[in-house]
């Protein structure tokens, strides 16, 4: 079922790959709705601190900035990985993907530390409406990053075994869409949770 | 937790069900073992990725759930048939109206519609299967796991009892302790993931897998309505996912999303629930509209009147469906301005819906109408649904709604929308597409019994609810005093529900009778159809089409027949690529069900241990590089000769 368009990149070569990629875009559409709901609920509840700490009380902007740099850089290296893939450079794809995952793991490490810090400050998920919405929004994003690290690790094994084929290429491409999407969500979190929380 | 807390005890009805369920399970397992059918079940059904078989499994589950939800309904009707009856107590009544609502919407209407979509859509667009066959199987099995988990609640642990809407703070741990509402949160979550995957699957299938020449304005109308429905699924179900996750966190982990204390906000649940819940109404009704359109055009022997306006109307309804959710709680403290806006958007839905009603009527006008059973359901739908629609406009007026809100008038309204809109459509679709699924028709004479009993029973059951509702009877009342004067109406309604049930029994008898005695000689096109599903054998072969048909206009098959262009040349055949069966979908769904069950009881260690199964399933799936197999030209030619005679 090879497509007639031969000048397409490798990941778009078969009809099934094209459908997989389109299907993943539609899935990301559903993810946008999911995160929009989490954000909207957060905006409803963010001032309901019920006498517990507010965002301003507990946020440490320096750590959040480091997390942001880690994740944004990982999105860049993820792009480099796909760039290597397009030029059939297996080692490049491998190395840049591993760098991406390491940066992602660094982000997760910082975020978990941040959460522990908040709990010590008396802001656990059970404290108030604000903390419930905050931890759920951040936690859902963090869980996505965690899932992505495990998923892409599996893809690396497949890449090592099979090399860059039509199938592995479309898998890596889809994983890269996912990774960039998490970055986009983080930009909204950084802006509308942390920055807004520090000023308002 | 002791054993008598684990099993629901102390009620003779439930004890009888427990015994019946136990015996049925043992009987089924014994029967399958005796007939040596396990291997067959596993290979042909449990691991199948064939859209037609998955569709049939959806339909079987839907009919079973219809029975369960119907029994709930009959129990409620029996309880309110006379004043001050002691048949059910208040707690039991609460549980029953909750499970009735959830099961009828999510586990009856949804699977029956998605089942028919599964069977029909790939055939109507001339495709070999859906875009992601394995994901399709996963959708089904997740739905099934969710449905089973939800149904187990009434014998193990206790049913949810806060209404199908499960409003907070009532549905929270504080006011509804026990595990019943945990079942609600977790079972619906599991089924919902499956539905979301179905939505994605059909969006891609319809965009990418249409037959050559089938441009957007040549799509059969049922494909259009399924496409738009799938988009609403993708846009609305994630909201429910989040709402249910919050509910789970509140109930299991003591967070404060919807509680009254500690900064929670119960109105957040209402908004999220209806932001999903109202589009959900259109998710079930739009495919139904599509089915009616197909059936009416076929049996009026005319092309559908106003095809393009139908498409725009469906799209318009889908758009507006996202903008009306507040009309479910006009009385809960919104400002007059907010209520007015939502009142307007709600009434605007009547416009595209009216367009559709008139299109159906104009399709019938001057048609050569054949009163087949499928057509009868479609004809009865128009007046019955219009009653539901007009009372909907009454409810849409915010000021007047203060009178109707949460009365039986509302209950009557949505049953008049959902039963003609969805159930009649499913019946029409079943009679219409039955030969394509099984190779024989359902009996038309028993079908007419089914039709008349059901339609008369339906009107007798629900029409009186309008009157008692206007007289002030609120919904969800488990009993009432004789001095209200409602006994006559409600007694009449109870009798109607028995006739309704007799109609359903006639359907079951019809399936049994036709399975045993109906003629197997129906040909590929028993109704003189207009769309591509009739261009291939009945039942449809596993590869659907030996050669994918080319489409040059709307109602393509109708014109192919007219131009004598339905033959098949052997030289046109090419090997057909087919996907392989897979064990991962059913395995993952079973694990999801088990994890869900442990979570319901808050046995977290067990839940985490069982989750390893999910990881195993996902890893196995990621490493699965199975490319499927090919059917050779010779095999295709042999199978095609069986129903076509000689090839050209």
Q: What is the DSSP string of B352-418?
A: HHHHHHHHHHHHHTT------HHHHHHHHHHHHHHHHHHHHHHHHSHHHHHHHTTBHHHHHHHHHHH
Query: What pLDDT, in 10s, does the model give residues A147-199?
Result: 999 999 999 999 999 999 999 999 999 999 999 999 999 999 999 999 998 88
- What is the torsion angle, in degrees rounded to the nearest 10, for the CA atoms of residue B8, residue B14, residue B18 and residue B23? 170
Residue A53 tokens, joined: 């700490």
DSSP state of B109: I
Of A37, A125, A167, the CB nearest to B253: A125
End-to-end alpha-carbon separation of chain B, Å? 72
Residue A4 has what pLDDT? Answer: 52
Residue B537 tokens, joined: 């054998």
Residue A198 has what pLDDT? Answer: 85
Whether residue B276 has a cis bond before it, omega within 30° of 0: no
DSSP state of B131: S
- The nearest alpha carbon in chain B to A46 belongs to B263
In this structure, CATH architecture of domain A54-199: Up-down Bundle (1.20)
**SS3 annotation, A21-61:** HHHHHHHHHHHHHHHHHHHHHHHHHCCCCCCCCCHHHHCCH
What are the phi and psi torsion angles at A2 (to 5°)?
-70, 135
B611 interface with A at CB cutoff 8 Å: no
**CB–CB contact B238 A33 (8 Å):** yes
> How far is residue A138's CA from residue A113's CA, in Å, rounded to a whole number?
13
**CB–CB contact A154 B261 (8 Å):** no
End-to-end alpha-carbon separation of chain A, Å? 56
Please state whether the predicted TM-score (pTM) of the whole model is above 0.80.
Answer: yes
Ranges of residues in chain B whose predicted pLDDT is under 50: none
Is residue A5 very low, low, confident or very high in pLDDT (cuts 50, 70, 90)? low
Residue B1 has what pLDDT? Answer: 65
Cβ atoms of residues B310 and B359 within 8 Å = yes
CATH number of B37-582+626-644: 1.20.210.10
ipTM of the complex: 0.96
Helix (H) or strand (E) holding B98: helix B90-102
Residue B3 has what pLDDT? Answer: 72
CA distance to partner chain B, nearest, from residue A191 (Å):
22
DSSP state of B542: T
Percent pLDDT > 70 in chain A is: 96
Extents of the domains making up chain A: 54-199
Which residues in chain A touch residue B264, judged by CB atoms under 8 angstroms apart?
A: 45, 48, 129, 132
**CB–CB contact B246 A41 (8 Å):** yes
Residue B630's beta-bridge partner residues?
B577
Query: What pLDDT, in 10s, does the model give residues A116-159?
Result: 999 999 999 999 999 999 999 999 999 999 999 999 999 999 99
**CB–CB contact A132 B256 (8 Å):** yes
Extents of the domains making up chain B: 37-582+626-644
Which residues in chain A touch residue B234, judged by CB atoms under 8 angstroms apart?
A: 26, 29-30, 33
**CB–CB contact A126 B256 (8 Å):** yes
Cβ atoms of residues B258 and A132 within 8 Å = no
**CB–CB contact B242 A37 (8 Å):** yes
Which residues have CB under 8 Å from B190's CB, separation 6+?
A: B142, B145, B146, B149, B589, B592, B593, B596
Residue B112 has what pLDDT? Answer: 97
Is residue A6 very low, low, confident or very high in pLDDT (cuts 50, 70, 90)? low
B-interface mutation test, from A12, A27, A37, A130, most B Cβ less than 10 A away = A37
């Amino acid at each position: 079922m090879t497509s007639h368009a031969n000048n397409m990149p490798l990941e778009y070569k078969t009809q099934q790959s094209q459908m997989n990629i389109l299907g993943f875009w539609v899935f990301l559409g559903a993810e946008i709705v999911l995160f929009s709901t989490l954000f909207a609920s957060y905006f409803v509840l963010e001032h309901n601190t019920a006498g517990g700490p507010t965002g301003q009380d507990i946020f440490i902007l320096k750590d959040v900035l480091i997390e942001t740099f880690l994740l944004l850089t990982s999105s860049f290296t993820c792009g480099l990985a796909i760039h290597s893939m397009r030029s059939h450079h297996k080692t490049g794809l491998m190395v840049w993907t591993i760098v991406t995952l390491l940066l992602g793991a660094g982000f997760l490490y910082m975020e978990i530390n941040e959460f522990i810090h908040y709990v010590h400050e008396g802001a656990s998920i059970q404290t108030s409406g604000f903390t419930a919405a905050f931890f759920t929004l951040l936690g859902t994003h963090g869980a996505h990053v965690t899932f992505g690290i495990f998923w892409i690790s599996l893809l690396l094994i497949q890449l090592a075994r099979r090399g860059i084929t039509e199938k592995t290429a479309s898998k890596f491409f889809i994983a890269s869409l996912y990774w960039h999407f998490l970055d986009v969500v983080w930009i909204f979190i950084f802006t509308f949770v942390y920055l807004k929380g520090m000023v308002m | 937790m002791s054993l008598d807390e684990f099993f629901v005890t102390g009620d003779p009805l439930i004890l009888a069900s427990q015994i019946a369920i136990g015996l049925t399970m043992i009987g089924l397992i014994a029967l399958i073992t005796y007939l040596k059918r396990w291997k067959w079940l596993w290979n042909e059904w449990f691991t199948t990725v064939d859209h037609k078989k998955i569709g049939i499994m959806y339909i079987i589950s839907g009919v079973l759930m219809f029975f369960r939800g119907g029994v709930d309904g009959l129990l409620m009707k029996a309880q309110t048939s006379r004043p001050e009856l002691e048949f059910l107590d208040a707690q039991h009544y609460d549980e029953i109206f909750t499970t009735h609502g959830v099961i009828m919407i999510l586990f009856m209407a949804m699977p029956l519609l998605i089942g028919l979509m599964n069977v029909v859509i790939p055939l109507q667009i001339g495709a070999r299967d859906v875009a992601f066959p394995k994901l399709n199987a996963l959708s089904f099995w997740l739905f099934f796991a969710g449905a089973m988990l939800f149904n187990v609640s009434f014998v193990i642990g206790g049913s949810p009892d806060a209404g199908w809407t499960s409003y907070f703070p009532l549905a929270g741990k504080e006011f509804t302790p026990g595990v019943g509402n945990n079942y609600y949160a977790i079972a619906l979550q599991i089924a919902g993931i499956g539905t979301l995957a179905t939505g994605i699957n059909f969006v891609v299938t319809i965009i990418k897998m249409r037959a050559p020449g089938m441009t957007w304005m040549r799509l059969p109308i049922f494909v259009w309505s399924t496409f738009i429905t799938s988009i609403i699924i993708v846009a609305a179900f994630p909201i429910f996912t989040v709402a249910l996750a919050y509910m789970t966190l509140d109930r299991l982990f003591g967070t404060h999303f919807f509680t009254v204390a500690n900064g929670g906000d119960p109105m957040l649940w209402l908004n999220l629930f209806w932001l999903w819940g109202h589009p959900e109404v259109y998710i079930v009704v739009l495919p139904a509209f599509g089915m009616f359109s197909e059936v009416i055009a076929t049996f009026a022997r005319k092309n559908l009147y106003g095809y393009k306006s139908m498409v725009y109307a469906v799209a318009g309804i889908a758009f507006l469906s996202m903008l009306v959710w507040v009309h479910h709680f006009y009385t809960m403290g919104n400002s007059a301005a907010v209520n007015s806006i939502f009142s307007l958007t709600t009434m605007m839905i009547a416009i595209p819906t009216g367009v559709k009603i008139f299109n159906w009527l104009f399709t019938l006008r001057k048609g050569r109408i054949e009163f087949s059973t499928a057509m009868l359901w479609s004809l009865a739908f128009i007046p019955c649904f219009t009653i539901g629609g007009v009372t909907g406009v009454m409810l849409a007026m915010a000021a007047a709604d203060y009178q109707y809100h949460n009365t039986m008038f509302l209950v009557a309204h949505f049953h008049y929308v959902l039963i003609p809109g969805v159930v009649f459509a499913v019946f029409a679709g079943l009679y219409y597409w039955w030969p394509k699924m099984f190779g024989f028709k359902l009996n038309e004479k028993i079908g007419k019994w089914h039709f008349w009993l059901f339609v008369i029973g339906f009107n007798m059951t629900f029409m009186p609810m309008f009157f008692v509702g206007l007289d002030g009877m609120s919904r969800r009342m488990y009993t009432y005093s004789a001095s209200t004067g409602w006994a006559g109406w409600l007694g009449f309604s109870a009798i109607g529900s028995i006739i309704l049930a007799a109609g359903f029994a006639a359907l079951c008898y019809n399936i049994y009778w036709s399975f045993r005695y109906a003629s197997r000689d129906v040909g590929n096109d028993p109704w003189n159809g207009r769309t591509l599903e009739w261009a291939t054998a009945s039942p449809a072969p596993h590869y659907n089409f030996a050669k994918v048909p080319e489409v040059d206009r709307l109602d393509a098959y109708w014109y192919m027949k007219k131009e004598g262009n339905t033959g098949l040349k052997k030289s046109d055949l090419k090997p057909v690529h087919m996907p392989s069966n897979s064990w991962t979908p059913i395995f993952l769904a079973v694990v999801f069900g088990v994890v869900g069950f442990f979570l319901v009881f808050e046995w977290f260690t067990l839940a985490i241990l069982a989750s390893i199964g999910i990881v195993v399933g996902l890893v196995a799936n990621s490493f699965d590089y199975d490319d499927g197999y090919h059917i050779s030209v010779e095999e295709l030619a042999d199978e095609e000769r069986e129903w076509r005679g000689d090839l050209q």
